[in-house]
Amino acid sequence: MWSARTRIAVRLLAVAALAGLTAGCFQPMYAERTDGTPGLREKLMGVELPPVDKQNASREARIGVEIRNALAFKLYGQATGVPPTHKLVLRFTTSRSSLILDPNTALPSSENYGIDAQYNLIELASNKSVMTGSTFSRVSYDIPGQMQRFARARAFRDAEDRAAQEIADNIQTRLASYFTAGT
């Protein structure tokens, strides 16, 4: 009969052996390819980001620019000059709701801001949609006081920026998954 230490040692040895066998299967997502095929970074750099169709000088136009800029930085980094192979069409709606109301004034002291986005990746060579998806972001923010209008406006704008960054993160992750796995 084996002792408890011997059983633990055998289990650890089995785990290490399995890890050693599967170590060659791992390939980093952003690694450069040695077989001549373009890597994920080059594929992401081939995605064109047209401007979001919103009314000029509107609050939603500013959010569209924020999402587009965040996506451009995530996809391209600081590189430019790659001819586009795909186009990403983005549509979104925004929402705002009060979470907590002050019982004395009936004014909100905490609000929730949300963005619901739909995106469509179109291959430029065939002009066909190769991937569609949707994502959302919900962020909350506090209103520091009813007399502090600037603080409320700034908190609202920060919430918009955080939600836009989250939307860009979600879309970039989905695009990386598509270009890596093909689905």
The domains of the chain are located at: 35-181
Angle at CA of residue 94, ends 73 and 168, nearest 5° = 20
Give the phi and the psi of residue 35 in degrees, each rounded to 5: -90, 5
> Per mean pLDDT, which of 8-22, 48-62, 163-177 is the most reliable?
163-177
* Average pLDDT of the residues of the chain: 87
Architecture of the domain whose range is 35-181:
2-Layer Sandwich (3.30)
The mean per-residue pLDDT over the stretch 139-144 comes to 88
Question: Residue 109: is its pLDDT beyond 70?
Answer: yes
The pLDDT value recorded for residue 26 is: 62
Helix (H, G, I), strand (E, B) or coil at 110: strand
Q: Which of 19-23, 37-41, 43-47, 63-67 has the lowest mean pLDDT?
A: 19-23
Distance CA 183, CA 169 (A): 18
Strands 86-101 and 47-48 come out as parallel
Give the phi and the psi of residue 177 in degrees, each rounded to 5: -65, -40
pTM summary value: 0.80
Give the phi and the psi of residue 167 in degrees, each rounded to 5: -60, -45
Question: Residue 1: is its pLDDT beyond 60?
Answer: no
* CA atoms in the 13 A half-sphere facing the CB of 60: 15
Backbone torsion region of residue 106, taken as left when φ is above 0, otherwise alpha when ψ lies between -120 and 50, otherwise beta? left
Distance CA 41, CA 52 (A): 23
The pLDDT value recorded for residue 103 is: 79
